[in-house]
Amino acid sequence: MSARALKWTSLAVIALVFAGLYLRALDAPPPAAFVPPRSAAQPAASKPFFKPQLLPNSSTLSVHSATAVELSDGRLRAFWYGGTREGASDVAIYTSVYSPVTGSWEPERMLVSREPAERRLQRSLRKLGNPVAGRDAAGRVWLYYVSVSVGGWAGSAINAMVSPDEGETWSAPRRLIASPFFNISTLVKGPPLRLADGTIALPVYHEFLGKFGELLRLDGEGRVVGKTRLSWGTSSLQPVIVPRSENEAVGFMRYAGDPPGRVLMIRTGDAGARWTAPVKTALPNPNSAVASVLLAGGPLVLVFNNAEENREELALALSADFGDTWRVARSLEGEALPPRAPVPEYSYPWIMQDRSGDVHVLYTWGRSRIKHAVFNRAWLEGGG
Amino acid sequence: MSATDIFGLGGCGLLYVALAAVLFPLRRLSAGVRYAVMMAFAVAVFIPIGGLSLAESMRGTTGDLSVPTLALAASACASRIAGRTLFQPREWSALLGAVAAAGLFLYPFALGLTPFDPYALGYGSAALTTVLLFATLAAWRAGLNLAVLVVVVAAAAYLAGAYESRNLWDYLIDPLAALYGLGRWGSDALRGIGRSFQRRKS
């Protein structure tokens, strides 16, 4: 081929691949509305109840970061990570199922451990971390979990696996690519959200050079197909997003900046296309994770450590105006609530409302156990 | 093993072979022995040792490698093993300069310096595509065939979903290529300063 022919052929190839790129750009998923969660609103006259219990997670010395999803038969499946200590190579992800009929948890079983995970992901892994669970539009259960190949938590990446049968069997894990810098420093803590077009919005955060939140958009195969920044800088992480309508949502974040430590709040009114800059709420935050849920027909609930310096009190706050003002309603753990954990740390809460309207909170109890508290709205609103 | 795993691990294996070709004194060996040694090494990087292969270990650290990094690795292999130069220094300078500039634009913002995240544009943006199109046409007009080839291969791989990533940036650039480009830029600049200093002295 002559040099001239080669030159024009290369131009034709350029035209062809850029036509493909433009088609792909046009095909990118447009913003999609939130799907607000639906649960049964409980009658205010219900008899108050509150039932706390420790999960039977006795096979590991250290546990942390519980998450849960309601199963199709009304039971709850929880996941958490456990091992000899946080960051150890023997840390694995465990699961157990709670029956609201018997009020008890099944024995735990190991679901993901490091070596099988690295073989299935075709890459080296040093340790495993936070899991979060959710459900997609097709009813499948998704589990996202953090893994680290090099360094500490700043070197994290997220993996996803899906179960078609309520968590009994799982697909091979898939690596989510969410950062251009060796794909490091992306972690999960908040629950995924379903969007109206069938995609999933997964709140994530980074903690490498900066600490900030993002919302990843995942397609039906669990691939990242878009993202939106929730904050920027070096002081906000572990976002939790709570939709109220198709377009409106509020988000809360852990604060890692200069004192005073306060729970951070963001808002969107256009289905997450844009978010307000984080503002400090009146609620304290000792650089610890929070959890939130909007109860059916009721107030917004926030689970948080009610102190600026430590994680010794875990409390529930209510807001009747979607986050503008708060009332601390109940304490789940605190000095006046024996028995105390060997290490008085109550942290990493997860909150959800089941279809009957009962509220479940799971949290780390002294780094040695996962604790579950189930209560109704009458108990929640009767305190404070 | 999925197709994305095969492409990802293949790239890491190629980089291992290139590093070995650069680090080992291959020129002392006859051509036949040189090819045999490098072929054996290329196979060895994919054999699991203690559960994982060298290629899998690298993939855990670097992730999947961008097309410029693969081009650098292929060039090192061609030069050290076959004694062939694939593209002229001018072509490499242009490509690596563009990759370094792209890295300076992409990484600080993607790592949270501001609310603007250029990485998000890589999921499908007409603006990013247009900027890339103009840069590619400029390279084509200037006869910078390597840069054109890299963009075309990266775009085709992105459209085909060769890697796990659905973000165009991950096919165009990675930190290894950006750092190498910055290093090359820096050393070229220092050499230029040195030459002008010499001229002034003489």
Q: Three-state SS string across B3-53, please?
A: HHHHHHHHHHHHHHHHHHHHHCCHHHCCHHHHHHHHHHHHHHCCCCECCEC
Chain A interface includes B160 (CB < 8 A) = no
Does B59 contact A208 at a Cβ distance shorter than 8 Å?
no
First to last CA, chain A: 84
Least CB–CB distance from A20: residue in B132, B159, B175: B159
Inform me whether the pLDDT recorded for A64 exceeds 80: yes
| Rounded average pLDDT over B18-38 | 85
Q: Which residues of A touch B129 (CB under 8 A)?
A: 18, 21-22, 25
Inform me whether the pLDDT recorded for A1 exceeds 80: no
Does B60 contact A124 at a Cβ distance shorter than 8 Å?
yes
pLDDT number for residue A43: 65
Measured CA distances, A230 to A49, A212, B2, B61, B160 (Å): 37, 7, 33, 27, 30
Q: A175 pLDDT band (50/70/90 cuts)?
A: very high
B112 and B164 Cβ atoms separated by less than 8 Å = no
Tell me the count of A-B CB pairs closer than 8 A: 151
CA-nearest residue to A155 within chain B is: B61
pLDDT number for residue B68: 97
| Rounded average pLDDT over B7-18 | 94
**Predicted TM-score (pTM) of this structure:** 0.92
| Rounded average pLDDT over A158-171 | 96
Does A119 contact B52 at a Cβ distance shorter than 8 Å?
yes
| Rounded average pLDDT over B75-87 | 87
A40 or B100: which carries more pLDDT confidence? B100
CA-nearest residue to B175 within chain A is: A181
| Rounded average pLDDT over A20-47 | 84
Instruction: List, as one string, the DSSP characters of B41-87.
Output: HHHHTTS-BTTB-HHHHHHHHH-SPPHHHHHHHHHHHIIIII----S
Q: Is A345 helix (H, G, I), strand (E, B) or coil?
A: coil
Q: Which residues of B touch A125 (CB under 8 A)?
A: 60
pLDDT in tens, A238-256: 999 999 999 999 999 999 9
pLDDT in tens, B97-112: 999 999 999 999 999 8
| Residue A353 CB burial class (10 angstroms; 0-12, 13-18, ≥19) | buried
Chain A interface includes B60 (CB < 8 A) = yes
Inform me whether the pLDDT recorded for A45 exceeds 90: no
Chain B interface includes A12 (CB < 8 A) = no
Chain B interface includes A118 (CB < 8 A) = yes
Inform me whether the pLDDT recorded for A189 exceeds 80: yes
| Rounded average pLDDT over A147-166 | 93
pLDDT number for residue A44: 62
| Rounded average pLDDT over B63-83 | 92
Chain A interface includes B4 (CB < 8 A) = no
Inform me whether the pLDDT recorded for B116 exceeds 70: yes
Does A10 contact B175 at a Cβ distance shorter than 8 Å?
no
Distance CA B73, CA B67 (A): 10
Inform me whether the pLDDT recorded for B163 exceeds 80: yes
The closest of A287, A285, A320 to A304, measured between CA atoms, is: A285
Distance CA A200, CA A173 (A): 17
Non-local (6+) Cβ contacts of A242 within 8 A are A249, A250, A251, A252, A292, A293, A294, A300
Chain B interface includes A208 (CB < 8 A) = yes
Q: Three-state SS string across B127-182, please?
A: HHHHHHHHHHHHHHHCCCHHHHHHHHHHHHHHHHCCCCCCCCHHHHCCHHHHHHHH
CA distance A167 to chain B (A): 23
Q: What is the ipTM of this complex?
A: 0.90
Distance CA A175, CA A117 (A): 11
Inform me whether the pLDDT recorded for A214 exceeds 90: yes
pLDDT in tens, A274-316: 999 999 999 999 999 999 999 998 799 999 999 988 898 999 9
Q: Give the Cα-Cα-Cα angle A122, A126, A130 (nearest 5 degrees).
A: 95
Q: B33 pLDDT band (50/70/90 cuts)?
A: confident
Measured CA distances, A1 to A6, A10, A18, B88, B139 (Å): 6, 12, 24, 21, 21
Average pLDDT, chain A: 93
Non-local (6+) Cβ contacts of A103 within 8 A are A51, A53
Inform me whether the pLDDT recorded for A343 exceeds 80: no
Q: B190 pLDDT band (50/70/90 cuts)?
A: confident
Interface test with B, best of A1, A4, A18, A206 (most B CBs within 10 A): A18
pLDDT number for residue A6: 85
| Rounded average pLDDT over B147-163 | 96
Torsion, CA A266, CA A269, CA A270, CA A273, rounded to 10:
-10
pLDDT in tens, A361-370: 999 999 999 9
| Rounded average pLDDT over B69-96 | 90
Inform me whether the pLDDT recorded for A10 exceeds 80: yes
Non-local (6+) Cβ contacts of A133 within 8 A are A67, A68, A69, A77, A79, A141, A142, A143, A144, A191
A133 and A150 Cβ atoms separated by less than 8 Å = no
Amino acid at A323: G
Residue A31: both structure tokens together: 């913003």
Domain ranges of chain B: 1-85, 87-202
For residue A169, the 8-state DSSP code is S
Least CB–CB distance from B169: residue in A10, A180, A210: A180
Inform me whether the pLDDT recorded for A73 exceeds 90: yes
B68 and B173 Cβ atoms separated by less than 8 Å = yes
The closest of B25, B43, B27, B183 to B100, measured between CA atoms, is: B183
Q: A95 pLDDT band (50/70/90 cuts)?
A: very high
Torsion, CA A232, CA A235, CA A240, CA A244, rounded to 10:
-60
Inform me whether the pLDDT recorded for B189 exceeds 90: no
A358 and A376 Cβ atoms separated by less than 8 Å = yes
Does B152 contact A124 at a Cβ distance shorter than 8 Å?
no
The closest of A182, A198, A163 to A71, measured between CA atoms, is: A163
pLDDT in tens, B39-65: 898 899 999 888 889 999 889 889 999
The structure tokens 């060769």 sit at B162
CA distance B15 to chain A (A): 15
pLDDT number for residue A336: 67
Inform me whether the pLDDT recorded for A88 exceeds 80: yes
